[in-house]
Amino acid sequence: MTPPALTPDTVAPARPPWARPRGANERGATIDTYEVFAIRYASLANRKASENFIGGDPHESASDLDYFVWLARSKARTFVIDTGFDPEVGARRGRRMLNPPERGLGLLGVDARKVKDVIITHLHYDHVGNFGLFTEASFHLQDEEMAYATGRHMAQGFFSYAYEADEVAAMVREVYKGRVRFHDGDAELAPGLSLHRIGGHTKGLQVVRVRTRIGWIVLASDAAHLYANMNETRPFPIVFDAGAMVEGYRRLRELADSPDLIVPGHDPLVMRRYAAPGADLQGIAVRLDQRPK
């Protein structure tokens, strides 16, 4: 499929596909190939269908949830995508930490203190905790997500439930330090890696599209918690805009080179469909730039 049009904000005008050198993006820069990893740091069992799907049966048991952070790196750049939940916040909310995200990153040779780019898909507690460990990083966030997390809807528990006011406030302080890089919709952060606002689950949720040796893959984060949410069009119950969430399933398929290259944000099947990058990372991380089983 053709990559979606990204809006070049500064440099050369976009070239049509036929005028581009092979392996180049719209601006003529060579596209990097990324290694991509999912690092599992927590899990949650005993789910009911009604907790995973709108209209699900409250008596029927359903898939567990796994919790991940993701890593995408090329020769030139390293991007960490989301930072997991804070262990105390997780414990208060009944979530069991298996392995702190910074430890999983460390096993893959990444020191949280040296990372320059952290993409925050959205500000829910299980995606933005621990961001203080990334002392050198810029945080890539959608305008719409910060507006949502600090705006009128947070007065309603239905929308604010998965946010931690202290974490949102701490991120506001990072804005004042100049460390938040805001994006509005689609944004190319580097040749071969771009952000795309989907909304739905939260108003400013973004997903990450990454060029790998097997093609363009998409880290869906909470645009699809589980494979079943997107494949069966059964939306997840924590939602701001159900229409945008369902439209998001279509958008994910448009962004990925094939539907099996979309990686859902909380599905335990991810750990089974992909292989660990090494024996020491069994059960901790899997490599996503390989064909899933």
CB of 199 to Zn ion, least distance (A): 12
Which spans of this chain sit near Zn ion (rule: CB under 5 A)?
Answer: 124, 222
Tracing tokens 């528990």 back to the chain, one arrives at 157
Residue 145 or 222: the one with the smaller Cβ distance to Zn ion is 222
CB of residue 128 to Zn ion, shortest distance in Å: 10
CB nearer to Zn ion: give 28 or 268.
268
Residue 57: CB atoms within 10 A of its CB come to 11
Positive or negative CA dihedral for 253, 255, 257, 263? negative
Q: What is the largest CA-CA distance in the chain?
A: 57
Query: Nearest approach, Cβ of 171 to Zn ion (angstroms)?
Result: 15
**Nearer residue to Zn ion within complex by CB, 216 or 240:** 240
> Which is nearer to Zn ion, 209 or 225 (by Cβ)?
225
Residue nearest to Zn ion (CB): 124
Least distance in Å: CB of 270 to Zn ion? 16
C-alpha angle 137/87/205, rounded to 5°?
A: 55
- Give the residue with the Cβ less far from Zn ion, 214 or 246: 246
Q: Which is nearer to Zn ion, 6 or 230 (CB)?
A: 230
Contact 77, 114 (CB under 8 A): no
Q: Where are the alpha helices (DSSP H) in the chain?
A: 49-52, 87-92, 101-107, 125-128, 143-149, 157-160, 165-176, 227-231, 242-255, 269-273
CA triplet 282, 236, 60: central angle to 5 degrees? 80
Strands in 120-245 per DSSP E:
138-142, 180-183, 187-190, 193-197, 206-212, 215-221
CB of 222 to Zn ion, least distance (A): 4
Min CB(103)–Zn ion separation in Å = 22
